[in-house]
Structure 1
C-alpha cells in the first residue's frame, strides 16, 4: 500500500467517512500508522477506528473485512483501544455485539481474572477518564465490586490514573467509586464516593479531589462520616486531609472516639483547636461497647502514644475519670495490656496522676497498690525512683 493510499484511508477514518473507504476499496489485512498522544501507532484498520471513535467506519469494516474482536500483538482487542481513547460509540457497539452473540459474560470473566492489570478495560479507560465509558460498562452489567473484593491493587491503580489524567474529571471518579460501593453492598449504597475512597485507602490525591466536590459532613446509613471511616480504618493520609475541612458533623457525638482510634498527635491537636468544646462532653462516654481511652491505648508506638496523651491532658482530660465511675482511669487502661509499658506509667506519674484513686473496673485496686505489689523489675525501678511505699 502506497503512502498516499494510507493517508487517504487514515483521513477517512479520522472523518468517520465509511463511503470513502468503500470508494478506496480497502481490503482486509491493511494497517495504518497515525499519531496519537505524542506517539506513533501502527494498527489494523478496525483498531484505528476504535482509537478515533470512527463508528460508521468500524461497522463497515467489521461486517465483512475485519474481525471486531481480533487481538493485536499485545493481546489487546479493539474494545481496549476504544476504552483507552474514550471512543464511546465504538465501545458501546462492541459490547452490544458481545451481548447478541452470547459472549458478554465470558468477556467480563476474562477481564476480571486474566492478563496484566494494564490490559484491563477499566484501567485503559482511566487514561482519558471519559465518564460515558464507565457508564456504558456499568449499563451492560459489569460488576465493578470485584475490584474491592478481589483486586484492590487494580482499584488503587485505576484511581491513581483517574486522578492524574488530562481530563481529571471528578464526576468520573465519583461515578466509578459509587459503582464499586453500590455493587459491593446494595444495602449500604448511601456511602459517598469519598467514604469509599477512604475505606479502601485510595491515593490521597483522589481524596483531595473528592473533598472539593462531595459533602464532607455527609452521614451514611451506618451513621458514619468520611472522617470517622478514616479514623476507624487508620487511614492517616485521608484524616489529615479531612481535618483541614469543616467537618463539624464528625464531632457531634463521636469525634473524641474517632481521634482516639486514630491516635495521631497532629490530627488530635487540630481537632481540639476546632472542636474541643464538643469533644469534652464525650471524654468518658462509651461508644459501641468501648471507651475512648481504651482505644487510644491500643497504639503500639509508645512515643507517639505519649504525645497523644499529652494533648488529652493539655485539653482537660481527667486521667482519673473521677466523675465517671464506669469509664476506666488512664492508669487502669494502661494495665489492661498483658505487658504494661513502664514508659506510660512513668508518664502518668510525671503528670501527677492520683495514686489513691480507686480503679473503676477492679474494686479495691488503685495505682499505688499495683506499684507496691508488682514484681516486674521495670515497675520496681519506678517504685523505688518515686519512693512509693
Structure 2
C-alpha cells in the first residue's frame, strides 16, 4: 500500500492496538477486507492521507475477542443519499468519485459479504468533501497458548536496528514462553552472542546500517564456527534471497512481516530437543548405541548448505577439532568440583552436536547439563569419538569431497 500511496503523494499510516495477540479465525478473509478497503481509500483520495487502524479487545466474559479494522481517508467523501447503495455490486456513484474513477464497484460488496460470513458488521461514516471512514468489526476466538513447550530452551536474540521491529518480534517470541534478548546493531548482537552462553537462536535483520546481517553472520561463523547458535535471517526479500543468506552462514530465514505460524515452525525446527524430564535416568546409563545415534536426515541436509559441496566436511572438521577440547574442559571442571563450569562447557558441546544431527551425543550432554554425574562425564569422550567416526562414515556414503 505504501508504494501506491507514495505514487499519489499521499501519506499512508498504520496504527495497531492489540490486546489479544493470538486469535483463531480466518486470517485470509480479514486480509481481503483490508486490501479492498485500503485500495479503495487510496484510489479515491487525491491529497492528504489514508489511515489503517487495527485494534483488538478481549471480551471479558468469553474466550473471544473483537477485532476492529478502521480505514479512513481525506478524499471527497460519499453523499448521505448514497450510503445505502455504496455496498451494492457495480454501483456507480454520481458524485466526484464517479467522474474521476470507475466507482466503488465490486470491492465493497465483497467486503460486506465477507464480514457477514464472519459474523461481523461494516459501518460507514463520512463528511462529504472531507473524507470517509469505514469500520469493520468481527469476532474472533482466542487461540490457546500451546507454545509453552519451548520454555526452558534457552534465550533467543533479536538483532534489528528498528525499535518497532524489535518490540513486535520480541512480543511474538514471548508468546512462546522464551527469554528474549534484543540488540540494535550487529556489533551489539555479536557482543551478546559472545557474552551469553544461553543463547540458542538469533533472529538477525538482513539490512542494517553499518555492519549488515550478512556480514554479521559471516563474522560470527568465522569467530565461533562451533557455537551451535542457529542464525535466522529476517528479510523482506522473500524466498528468492534464501541461497544468499544460507551461503553467508544463516541456518534459516523468516520473511517480513513475521507471523506466529512461521515463527513456531522455525522454533520447532531449531529448538526442539528432548526435555530434561525425558533425559533423566530410567537406567543407570545410556547404551553405546544410544550415545552414537545420528539424525541422518538432519546430517544429510547440511550437504546442501554453503557455497560449495564441502561445507559439511569443513563443519565436521571444525567439530572434530574443537569438540575434544570441550570434553577436556568438562573433565577438568569435574576434577575441580565446579558443576557450573561443567554445565557451560557441555552446553556448548550439546549445541554443536545437535547442529550436526548427533542426537545421541546431544542427549548425553543434556543428562550432564541437567545433573552432572561422574559416570556420565567418564562416558563423554568415548561417546564423542564414536560419534565422529559414525558421522565421517555417513559422509563417506554421500561421496562428499
Question: What is the TM-score normalised by the length of structure 1?
Answer: 0.28
Question: Rg larger in 1 or in 2?
Answer: 1
More strand by share: 2
More helix by share: 1
| Structure with the larger RCO, 1 or 2 (CA within 8 Å, 6+ apart) | 2
Question: What is the TM-score normalised by the length of structure 2?
Answer: 0.27
